[in-house]
Amino acid sequence: MPNYGDDAIYVWSITLIGIVLPVLMIGYSWLRVHLSKARLERLQQEEDQA
Amino acid sequence: MLSYLANPLRFMRFSRLAVPIGFALGIVMVGLSLYNGLLVVPPDERQGGDLMRAMFTHVPSAWLCMGLYAGLAGASFVWYIWRHELADVAARAIAPIGAGYTALCFITGSIWGQKGWGAGWHNLILGDSRLMSVLVLFFLFLGYMALRAALETRQKAARAAAILAMVGIVNVPIIKVSVDMWQTTTIHQPSSVISIGSPEPREEGSGMNPVYLQQLLWGFGGHTLLAAAMIMMLMRSEVYTQQADRLLARKLEGA
């Protein structure tokens, strides 16, 4: 690991936030598409059975 | 290309392939930018030594949040004029991703500014026109989402939110010029990549070193691909939701 001295806490915290926030957004997008697709498939299945 | 994808069926076919490619390429490009930015390039003494490595996270998010707002306003304009449903779906999908990247830009800028300018939180937010205008952008994204959720019919919500998005575009050039035109109200450094309307002539060779610029462009390209993939995922989700709602409405009519 490189030694950034006094700046290390700032550089690494900014980098960590820069990784965590996009990962959270990817998780949110995946969850949204997964839930809406599951709902559509359930409704289609119910219609097919009726 | 855009008119080809304006058909929801074609969009669903295209996005099924484009989403994983966007994620894969985006992760590689962001990873490359961070690896080189943190471990390979030398510190830049003009920009605070090692502290400038924060730039490889902060600057791509700053460019992207303005680009995403322009995309939101553009999609809203297309829906407002031509009533193209997929444009409304796109606008709705852009808003949460834009809010996320604006939050990223604001948080990382505030942390960087605390050390770089030695300013406390109060001075950073209230005393700096760049950070304040980015905060306004964040509230515009939140306002857009709140307005869409608050109105009872989809058409009313889309119309009101589109007007807000189009009016709010005025904030994007304000963010851009805030550090060059109003130097007395900002502690932010002037634009170092693209400068518009700076009253002070630049010294020869004071632009950004290509070693840093290259990493910034990798990071920006990578985050753009990631954002595009997330937006396409949210658009797919919205298309599924609308199909499910139509199915449910048909079912209730038949009951």
**Between chains, do B241 and A39 touch, taking CB under 8 Å as contact?**
yes
Q: What is the pLDDT of residues B132-144, one digit of tens each?
A: 899 999 999 999 9
Cα separation of B30 and B221, whole Å? Answer: 8
- Does residue B1 register a pLDDT over 90? no
Q: Are B164 and B140 in contact (CB under 8 A)?
A: yes
Alpha-carbon distances of B99 from B69, B112, B139, rounded to whole Å:
9, 20, 8
Cα separation of B110 and B148, whole Å? Answer: 29
Which chain B residues are Cβ-neighbours of A15 within 8 angstroms?
34, 38, 53-54, 56-57
Q: Are B28 and B190 in contact (CB under 8 A)?
A: no
Residue B205: φ, ψ to 5°: 80, 15
**Between chains, do B241 and A46 touch, taking CB under 8 Å as contact?**
no
Q: Are B129 and A24 in contact (CB under 8 A)?
A: no
**Between chains, do A25 and B115 touch, taking CB under 8 Å as contact?**
no
Cα separation of B72 and B148, whole Å? Answer: 13
> Do the interacting molecules here have an ipTM over 0.90?
yes
The model's pTM is 0.91
Q: What is the pLDDT of residues B40-91, one digit of tens each?
A: 999 988 778 899 999 999 999 999 999 999 999 999 999 999 999 999 999 9
Q: How many CB atoms lie within 10 A of CB B123?
A: 15
Percentage of chain A exceeding pLDDT 90:
78
Q: Are B140 and B95 in contact (CB under 8 A)?
A: no
Residue B127 has a pLDDT of: 72
Q: Which of A7, A13, A39, A47 to mutate to test the interface with B (most CBs of B within 10 A)?
A: A7
**Between chains, do B108 and A5 touch, taking CB under 8 Å as contact?**
no
Sign of CA dihedral B148, B151, B152, B153: negative
Q: What is the pLDDT of residues A38-47, one digit of tens each?
A: 999 999 999 8
pLDDT band at B2 (very low <50, low <70, confident <90, very high): low
Percentage of chain B exceeding pLDDT 70:
86
Q: Are B246 and B90 in contact (CB under 8 A)?
A: no
- Does residue B119 register a pLDDT over 80? no
Of the candidates A5, A7, A29, the beta carbon closest to that of B234 is on: A29
- Chain A residues at the B interface, defined by Cβ less than 8 Å, are 2, 4-8, 10-11, 13-15, 17-19, 21-22, 24-26, 28-30, 32-33, 35-37, 39-40, 43-44, 46-47, 50
- Does residue B123 register a pLDDT over 80? no
Which chain A residues are Cβ-neighbours of B236 within 8 angstroms?
33, 37
Q: State the alpha helices, DSSP H only, in chain B.
A: 2-5, 8-35, 55-82, 85-116, 121-126, 129-150, 154-168, 171-181, 210-254
pLDDT band at B184 (very low <50, low <70, confident <90, very high): low
pLDDT band at B114 (very low <50, low <70, confident <90, very high): confident
**Between chains, do B57 and A17 touch, taking CB under 8 Å as contact?**
yes
